[in-house]
Amino acid sequence: MVKRGLRWQVGDGEKIQVWKDKWLQKPNTNRVVTPESTSQQVARVCNLIDGNKKEWKKDLIRHYFLPQDVEATLSIPLSTHGGRDRMIWLETKNGKFSVRSAYKLAQVMQSDGTTPESSDPTALKQTWRFGIWKDRNIARHGVKRREGKAIVMSLLRVLDEFQAANVQPLVLTRQPPNETKWRPPQPGHYKVNVDGAVFAKKKLVGVGVIIRDSAGMVIAALSRKLALPLGVLETEAKAMEVGVQFALDVGARDLTLEGDSLCICNALQGLGEASSSVHNFVTGTLHLAKGFRNAAFSHTKSPANVPAHFLAQHATNVENYVAWLEECPSHVELACTNDVSSLSINE
């Protein structure tokens, strides 16, 4: 059962076998459906990754894989800092095992007649041993022994009740209300606003980044197009990573990185867990952020993120990326002017 609920999440791809392991974000199988190749060029997932650029080898993948496997592979976020492969639990959004989700999976497997596969995680191993021991003792008193599935279901119910009874209350710190208007950074610091845009039909995403000082003056701006078939959440996470890298390239050292995805901002601030699908982007952003002297993350609402939004949308018109220093496109500049003007009015 545990094996059915697990799959690999790609880090550096060293541990993952292309043709045998579950590593794709595809329902039901999570495996490659392309007929297996004997070529050692594509034996392991690391063979499909450009180790220097931390990008998928698109030409190689398109040569060996069927179209559906090509798209599934290219949609997997890669770590910019060479993170390692890890096993994740498919039945939860954050990829972490929970008794409740395992119980639900066991019910599904029982209803469709699937036989649970054997597995050997230490914690679960002790639980199964206890169940078998208890069932054996009951049998000694003349009670009919239960089938393996019945033992598993019973144990999962008990564990679920125990887990529910021992949940620690979540203490939430009161956060200041999200701004609907852009706020400048403190003097000597920079505000880096980022946003992402999904162009689903073209299987592309756009990233917009704008860096401003405490007076609201534009220091640098970026529109970047990425040939990645990502979802909305993944695109927002990638935008954060691109924003950090751009700020490093520009030479900023004290800054606040701001976006309008609450889920991603909370994950970067350590206030919540993001979906496993953005794990590599979140860890990559945090890794890059170590290169700053002072770095913070904050969430804002979309009305306070208009210039970055315009730059992300503009990415569909560029070849790869366009960067501006101390200037930006006229419509973006107008949005920046409006930000500063509205700030002056409020004050």
Give residue-wise pLDDT tens across range 138-168: 667 666 766 665 666 666 566 555 555 554 4
Q: What is the pTM of this model?
A: 0.72
- 202 with 140, same domain: the answer is no
| Domain stop point among 89, 118, 138 | 89
Q: Is the pLDDT of residue 16 over 50?
A: yes
**Residue numbers of the domain that contains 75:** 6-89
- 337 with 197, same domain: the answer is yes
- 28 with 132, same domain: the answer is no
- 232 with 306, same domain: the answer is yes
What pLDDT was estimated at residue 69? 94
Per-residue model confidence as pLDDT tens digits over 276-333:
889 999 999 999 999 999 999 999 999 999 999 999 999 999 999 999 999 999 999 9
- In this prediction, residues 209-220 reach a mean pLDDT of 97
**Token pair in block for residue 149:** 């599935």
Q: Which of 157-171, 194-208, 218-232 has the lowest mean pLDDT?
A: 157-171
Per-residue model confidence as pLDDT tens digits over 63-122:
999 999 999 999 888 888 767 898 887 556 655 655 555 555 555 555 555 544 444 445
Residue 180 — very low, low, confident or very high, per pLDDT cuts 50/70/90? confident
- 12 with 114, same domain: the answer is no
What pLDDT was estimated at residue 119? 45
- 111 with 160, same domain: the answer is yes
Q: What CATH number does the domain containing 238 carry?
A: 3.30.420.10
CA 133 to each of CA 122, 146, 270: distance values in angstroms, whole numbers, following the listed order? 17, 12, 41
The tally of domains found in the chain comes to 3
- 140 with 215, same domain: the answer is no
| Domain stop point among 150, 165, 180 | 165
- 271 with 126, same domain: the answer is no
What pLDDT was estimated at residue 135? 66
What pLDDT was estimated at residue 111? 59
User: 150 in the Ramachandran plot: left (φ > 0), alpha (ψ -120 to 50) or beta?
Assistant: alpha
In a domain, 238, yes or no: yes
The fraction of the chain above a pLDDT of 90, given in percent, is 57
What pLDDT was estimated at residue 326? 94
- 290 with 342, same domain: the answer is yes
- In this prediction, residues 52-58 reach a mean pLDDT of 91
- 112 with 223, same domain: the answer is no
Residues whose CB falls within 8 Å of the CB of residue 13, separated by 6 or more in sequence, listed in order:
44, 45, 46, 47, 48, 49, 85
Task: Sort 254 into a burial class: Cβ within 10 Å, 0-12 / 13-18 / 19+.
Answer: middle
- 28 with 83, same domain: the answer is yes
Which of 210, 226, 230, 208 has its CA nearest to residue 218? Answer: 210
Pairing of strands 204-212, 190-199: antiparallel
